[in-house]
């Protein structure tokens, strides 16, 4: 899907999703002379470095916690040369040159940032564009050197973006993304100890981008390890607690809110896709999660969209971002509850009877209904059926209306939202049916009957009920519809994790066929079992390639 964003005035051209044209490909041109320098640029740590660490939770903010991303704290005070003679820039230039990039480094870096705000910012909106622009201007025009924190952050964002965005949109390969990753990683390593002792938003954001790059490169274990570092920093800063934000600089607070909720969903995703334990579950914190959702950045997050009726209105990127938080928050208690329920049943070996009035049943019913309806109030362009109006004023017949293409940022978010929903629905479907299969339930509750019908009559029975098969096939078909209406590029831009969500549903179909080979409902399942591998192959998944390589090595070793 090739969508354009609305035209804006020249002074707004730095806003993501509001550019008049697609970003220019990262083409090469003769590079200016960049000489190596032996001097190292020492990082400047924020004012929070002077605050004290105390208490059992390990991290306390200073009375006014001002981010190094705030105005007036962008570049090192010792800067005396232009950005083109900065050791950090020159090291990056040499690395890029080895990958075949001949364009002047700062120009190339700026184009990468443009790509980030167009393609990957809608999913991970954790950078402040005005701050980055000010930094780039100071480096280019005032002879300032890069601050190490900012350089590590910007190059990390570039590595993540170039790893995710299809190369036909960037003219850059994964080796270029790796050059940015290594530049960011080496810079972070130069002040690692201070960064851990006195973390801020950039400390976490850098690692989130590093984890994303590793995941896109097919290094799932490295990605999980780096993500774990981010989670530990979030825990030490107590970003789950709203009170922690009261002592922050306003900009730092908004960025920290965004990064917390990005990690919250990443933590859940890693749990269901990678089998990892949840580290940011609400139940793990005594006071629960009280952090509020972030606000818009004026001039950065608002875009113009065309409605079904042909009018234009403003829509915030944060609408889709926060809707994704709602989705995963609604799913969390169901995922945790089913795991605990199954464990309790298996350990107890009993079959308790639940009545209609059971508090446990009422809670589970409410939780499932909350999950099922959490996306009902989405704006039209983010919905499962993005062109279907849901009110008399919005409804039109397809032959009477030409659908307006959504802005690219909204289309990217829709793919993420709807693929996540189908994946979560599949996981919850499997887990809840397993719970009811272990229980002797005497109830006329509709939801209970629904899941009871999906459960096997006997816990040890291998075949599935017809209702469970039909529900699984429906999820499989809906996921294919999401892929069909998104297109390959939008799925790829959402990263390997989006591909894994599709793969999880496809694997469920294979399991269904294996358990129910004689079922008359398997005709559709067999069609899907051929289609899902085809779709996954088109996505060129690095994790799939690595898995096939590892499997080949294992088979060769057995010979």
Residues 151 and 416: their CA atoms lie apart, in Å, by 29
- Binned at pLDDT 50, 70 and 90, residue 338 comes out as low
Q: Which residues of 306-344 are buried (b: 16+ CB within 10 A; e: fewer)?
A: bbbeeeeeebbbbbbbebbbbbbbbbbbbbbbbeebbee
Q: What's the pLDDT score for residue 219?
A: 93
Mean pLDDT score of the chain, rounded to an integer? Answer: 78
**Cα dihedral 142→143→148→153 (10° resolution):** 50
352: left (phi over 0), alpha (psi -120 to 50) or beta: beta
- Return phi, psi of residue 34, to 5°: -120, 105
Determine if residue 442 is left, alpha or beta; phi over 0 gives left, psi from -120 to 50 gives alpha, anything else beta.
beta
CA distance 428 to 434: 10
Lowest mean pLDDT segment, chosen from 96-110, 302-316, 516-530, 539-553: 539-553
> In this structure, which long-range contacts are made by residues 437-442, counting pairs with CB atoms below 8 Å and at least 24 apart in sequence?
438/342, 438/345, 438/346, 438/351, 439/345, 439/351, 439/352, 439/353, 439/354, 440/351, 440/352, 440/353, 441/353, 441/354, 442/353, 442/354, 442/355
Residue 459 structure tokens = 């816990």
Residue 21: strand pairing partners: none
Q: What is the pLDDT of residue 52?
A: 28
36, 94 contact by CB (below 8 A)? yes
Note the pLDDT tens digit of each residue in 393-422: 667 776 666 667 889 999 999 999 999 999
What are the residues facing 65 on neighbouring strands?
248
The set of residues, in sequence order, having a beta carbon less than 8 Å from that of 438 and lying 6+ positions away, is: 342, 345, 346, 351, 459
* Distance in angstroms (rounded) separating the CA atoms of residues 367 and 412: 28
Q: Pick from 443, 550, 544: which is nearest to 499 by CA? A: 544
User: pLDDT, tens digit, for every residue of 269-285?
Assistant: 999 999 899 999 988 99
* Domain ranges (residues) in the chain: 76-284, 302-558
Q: Which of 493, 499, 486, 482 is nearest to 538 (CA)?
A: 499
Higher pLDDT, 89 or 30: 89
**How much is the pLDDT for 451?**
53
For residue range 178-189, list pLDDT tens digits in order.
999 999 999 999
| Percent of the chain with pLDDT strictly greater than 70 | 68
Which has more pLDDT, 230 or 438?
230
More confident site: 224 or 557: 224
Alpha-carbon gap, residue 493 to 409, rounded angstroms: 11
Q: What is the DSSP string of 163-179?
A: HHS-HHHHS--HHHHHH
pLDDT tens digits, residue range 56-81? 333 333 333 344 444 333 333 333 33
- At residue 67, the 3 state secondary structure works out as coil
CA dist., res. 143 & res. 250, Å (int): 29
> What band does 308 get if pLDDT is binned at 50, 70 and 90?
low
190-199 mean pLDDT: 97
Structure pTM? 0.79
* pLDDT at residue 96 greater than cutoff 50: yes
Distance between CA 246 and CA 237 in Å, rounded? 13
The average pLDDT across 480-508 equals 95
């Amino acid at each position: 899907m090739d969508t354009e964003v609305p035209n804006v005035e020249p002074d707004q051209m730095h806003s993501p999703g509001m550019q008049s044209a697609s970003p220019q490909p990262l083409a090469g041109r003769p590079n200016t002379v960049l000489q190596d320098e032996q001097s190292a640029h020492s990082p400047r740590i924020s004012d929070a470095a002077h605050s004290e660490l105390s208490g059992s939770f390990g991290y306390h903010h200073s009375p006014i916690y001002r981010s190094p991303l705030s105005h007036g704290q962008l570049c090192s005070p010792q800067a005396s040369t232009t950005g083109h003679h900065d050791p950090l820039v020159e090291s990056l230039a040499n690395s890029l040159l080895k990958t075949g990039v001949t364009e002047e480094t700062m120009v190339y870096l700026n184009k990468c940032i443009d790509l980030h705000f167009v393609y990957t910012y809608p999913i991970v909106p954790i950078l402040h564009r005005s701050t980055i622009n000010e930094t780039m201007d100071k480096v280019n025009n005032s002879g300032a050197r890069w601050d190490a924190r900012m350089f590590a952050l910007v190059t990390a964002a570039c590595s993540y973006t170039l790893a995710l965005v299809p190369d036909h949109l960037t003219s850059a390969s994964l080796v270029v993304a790796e050059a940015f990753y290594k530049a960011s990683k080496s810079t972070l390593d130069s002040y690692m100890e201070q960064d851990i002792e006195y973390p801020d938003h950039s400390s976490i954001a850098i690692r989130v981008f590093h984890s994303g790059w590793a995941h896109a490169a097919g290094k799932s274990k490295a990605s999980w390890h780096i993500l774990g570092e981010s989670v530990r920093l979030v825990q030490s800063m107590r970003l789950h607690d709203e009170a922690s934000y009261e002592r922050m600089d306003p900009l730092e607070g908004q960025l920290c809110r965004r990064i917390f909720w990005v990690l919250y969903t990443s933590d859940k995703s890693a749990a269901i896709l990678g089998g990892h334990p949840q580290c940011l579950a609400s139940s793990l914190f005594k006071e629960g999660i009280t952090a509020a959702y972030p606000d818009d950045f004026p001039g950065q997050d608002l875009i113009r969209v065309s409605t079904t009726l042909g009018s234009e209105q403003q829509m915030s990127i944060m609408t889709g971002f926060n809707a994704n938080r709602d989705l995963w928050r609604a799913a969390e208690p169901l995922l945790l509850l089913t795991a605990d329920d199954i464990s309790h049943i298996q350990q107890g070996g009993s079959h308790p009877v639940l009545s209609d009035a059971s508090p446990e049943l009422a809670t589970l019913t409410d939780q499932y209904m909350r999950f099922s309806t959490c996306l009902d109030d989405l704006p039209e362009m983010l919905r499962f059926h993005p062109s279907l109006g849901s009110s008399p004023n919005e409804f039109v017949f397809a032959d009477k209306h030409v659908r307006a293409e959504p802005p690219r940022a909204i289309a990217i978010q829709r793919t993420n939202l709807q693929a996540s929903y189908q994946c979560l629905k599949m996981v919850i479907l499997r887990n809840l049916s397993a719970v009811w299969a272990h229980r002797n339930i005497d109830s006329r509750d509709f939801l209970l009957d629904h899941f009871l019908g999906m459960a096997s009559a006997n816990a040890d029975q291998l075949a599935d009920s017809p209702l469970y098969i039909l529900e699984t096939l429906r999820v499989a078909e809906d996921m294919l519809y999401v892929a069909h209406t998104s297109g390959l590029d939008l799925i790829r831009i959402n990263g390997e994790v989006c591909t894994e969500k599709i793969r999880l549903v496809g694997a469920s179909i294979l399991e269904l066929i294996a358990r129910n080979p004689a079922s008359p409902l398997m005709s559709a399942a067999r069609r899907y079992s051929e289609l899902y591998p085809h779709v996954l192959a088109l996505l060129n998944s690095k994790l799939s390639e690595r898995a096939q390589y590892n499997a080949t090595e294992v088979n060769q070793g057995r010979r």
